[in-house]
Structure 1
Amino acid sequence: MGLTRRKNMPVVMLLSIGYFTTIILATILLMLPFASREGHTSFIDAVLTATSATCVTGLIAFDTAAHWTLFGQIVIMLAIQIGGLGFMTIITLLFMVIKRNIGLYNRTVIMQSAGSYNISGTTKLIRRIILGTLAFEAIGAVLIYFSIKDTYTEKTWYYAIFHSISAFCNAGFDVFGAGSGFAPVSLTPFSHNYGLLFTLMGLIIIGGSGFIVWSDIIDSRFKWSRFQVHTKIVVVANSVLIAIPAILFFIFEFTKVGTNAAFADMPFWDKIVNALFMSVTPRTAGFNSVDLNSMTASGQLLTVFLMLIGGNSGSTAGGVKVTTIVIIFATLISSARGQENVVMFKRRINEKLIKQSLSLLIAYLIIILTATLIIGSYENYSLMEILFEVVSAIGTVGLSLGLTGTCAVATKIIIIILMYIGRLGALTLFDLLLKDTNDTIVEKPEGKVLVG
């Protein structure tokens, strides 16, 4: 009976329950006296931290290194790894270890959670996800170790492993330690450490590109002509979304505007490297190498835009996803040119996919607007501070202007909900909003509506 009910359960509901269960377990562990240095953590702060880790976000109520003991930090790291790999990937790995058959239902769940569109080869895909993740995180840990070994003589390998996992899973948690106040310091002391910044950028980009992209690149033997359309879109869009924002950050933050400019006091090459880093991390890692509160209004707004876009489908990243934005942009161009079909890389984009992309973006914007209006009605923060935090939460980014550490309990609850929605994101919204209905069977009379 239980098995029948599970097989009748919607895929999204099963994934939602999986992540929810992980959050609850992490919350219980983080509330244990030996998980924190003070011996006590409030329920709401434990839930926020557990949700932030499981949903690979990075928003925190207090500094990770200062508040949590080694045990608490390891709980956070494991939650990040589970959240990054995906709940069903972990379950499937256990099935493979005990040599249990992976049924059709489980394969369907895995396919959707990994962003795949091919139910065959599920076991092969899971192996690649697991082995690829471990390989990239191991390489990243080694590179980080050599980047920080002169700065940290104790627990160097622990720092290297933690930040490699956090970067690859696009979580943005760090255990280097905080400065003063509630505004996260993150990687600001390392703004001149090119080795660390480039390693983290590489991990963020690879983790945020998506498991399906890796698999396609391997199967195509790195030959562009053999790449699927999805992979081509991801590669081109990622390149554009790194290069153009980096140039804009460099311009916006080069010299002071009033009292603000994040790069103003940096040497020239530091400005270039940090501009690159700040163009990568908002989609959707959450590390920052400069003080976000010192950025110009243009720099902060650009960061919000990048946080909304996020990474790629089937990856560790959040946001509305790169392919969603690309499809909408391509639709606008096709419409302006009077073209009937949207074509990319000599392939026509399905009309249903266009509708899904538009619906997803609109849904995200409605949620962001609603949350911003609610929080703004009682919190004493500027519009930019509230909007920044809301988009960071639903985009599972983790960048912050300091609101999460000092806000009211009600705001923390809203942030928790936003992070949870952001992690399930497209799956939840597609399943709830975009189901096929019988209305499509009978064609209705055309209605005339004026627009524009």
Structure 2
Amino acid sequence: SKVILVTTAILIIAPAVFFFFCDFTGLPLDKRILASLFQSVTPRTAGFNTADLPAMTGSSKAIMILLMLVGGSPGSTAGGMKTTTLAVLILSAFSVCRKKDDAEVCGRRIDGSAVKNAAAVAVMYFLLFFVGGIVISTAEGLPLSTCLYETASAVGTVGLTLGITPQLGVLSQLILIVLMYLGRVGGLTLIYAAVSNKNHSGAKLPLEKITVG
């Protein structure tokens, strides 16, 4: 609960501050604050739109893409790879920097399987969103950043768009449909369904150390 609450607070406040200073400059102060807060929440699968999304800065659109990929928290109806996935990956990175064997938070050690699951889900979401964006951009001749916004919205089951979806060809619309379905099914569910566990045994292959970073 602490991890979810802290991560959610950061994902709401930090983008809202950025949107406040970079967008909505033509609004009165009170409406500008509300618009900034709303815009930091709606990409995480609310799906409602009160702002002119194409008119927002490129940096704001990039932040919204990340928010759409993260989504909500486990146990909710929200899509995305979930707030705990992001938190576990960040905590794992901190543990590496501190030369700790395990990721730690609030005086507790995070199970290694949770770190592996978080990495698998994050890789799956980023691959789906990035490959889908590249294919749509190539097929339609549109800017990659615009197509990535659409694919992030689809895989995160958000519903936001920059307005290009109705003009896309059949192939591109099919890609968005598939991304929405895969994003709704969920990361681990999709991975477990695709990988058979019939050949699982207690035997282990020889250990090999690979240099990374």
Structure-2 residue corresponding to 1:297:
58
Correspondence list, 1:133-282, <5 A? 231-253=1-23, 263-282=24-43
What is the rounded CA distance, in whole Å, between the counterparts of 2:127 and 2:95 in structure 1?
25
How many residues are paired up?
213
Seq. identity, %: 38
Residue 360 of structure 1 contacts residue 429 of structure 1 at CA under 8 Å; is this kept in 2?
no
SS at match of 2:210: coil
What is the aligned counterpart of 1:445 among 203, 206, 209? 206
Residue 310 of structure 1 contacts residue 317 of structure 1 at CA under 8 Å; is this kept in 2?
yes
Runs (5+) with no aligned partner, structure 2? none
SS at match of 1:377: helix
What is the rounded CA distance, in whole Å, between the counterparts of 1:429 and 1:389 in structure 2?
21
Post-superposition shift, 1:444? Answer: 2.6
What is the rounded CA distance, in whole Å, between the counterparts of 1:233 and 1:325 in structure 2?
10
Structure-2 residue corresponding to 1:424:
185
Q: Considering only CA atoms, is the larger Rg found in Structure 1 or Structure 2?
A: 1
- One-letter code aligned to 1:344: V
Structure-1 residue corresponding to 2:47:
286
- Cα distance change of structure 1 residues 448 and 245 upon mapping to structure 2, 3 Å threshold: same
Residue 342 of structure 1 contacts residue 349 of structure 1 at CA under 8 Å; is this kept in 2?
yes
SS at match of 2:140: coil
Post-superposition shift, 1:310? Answer: 0.5
Structure-1 residue corresponding to 2:168:
407
Runs (5+) with no aligned partner, structure 1? 1-230, 254-262
What is the aligned counterpart of 2:151 among 367, 371, 390? 390
What is the rounded CA distance, in whole Å, between the counterparts of 2:181 and 2:5 in structure 1?
28
Correspondence list, 1:28-39, <5 A? none
- Cα distance change of structure 1 residues 236 and 433 upon mapping to structure 2, 3 Å threshold: farther
Residue 328 of structure 1 contacts residue 357 of structure 1 at CA under 8 Å; is this kept in 2?
yes
Post-superposition shift, 1:434? Answer: 6.5
Structure-1 residue corresponding to 2:92:
331
What is the rounded CA distance, in whole Å, between the counterparts of 2:191 and 2:3 in structure 1?
21
Report the aligned-residue RMSD: 1.6
What is the rounded CA distance, in whole Å, between the counterparts of 1:303 and 1:244 in structure 2?
12
What is the rounded CA distance, in whole Å, between the counterparts of 2:210 and 2:28 in structure 1?
57
- One-letter code aligned to 1:341: D
What is the rounded CA distance, in whole Å, between the counterparts of 1:423 and 1:292 in structure 2?
24
What is the aligned counterpart of 2:101 among 334, 340, 343? 340
Residue 311 of structure 1 contacts residue 321 of structure 1 at CA under 8 Å; is this kept in 2?
yes
In the TM superposition, structure 1's runs of 4+ consecutive aligned residues that sit over 6 Å from their partners are none
Provide the TM-score with structure 2 as the length reference.
Answer: 0.94
SS at match of 1:316: coil
What is the aligned counterpart of 1:308 among 69, 72, 79? 69
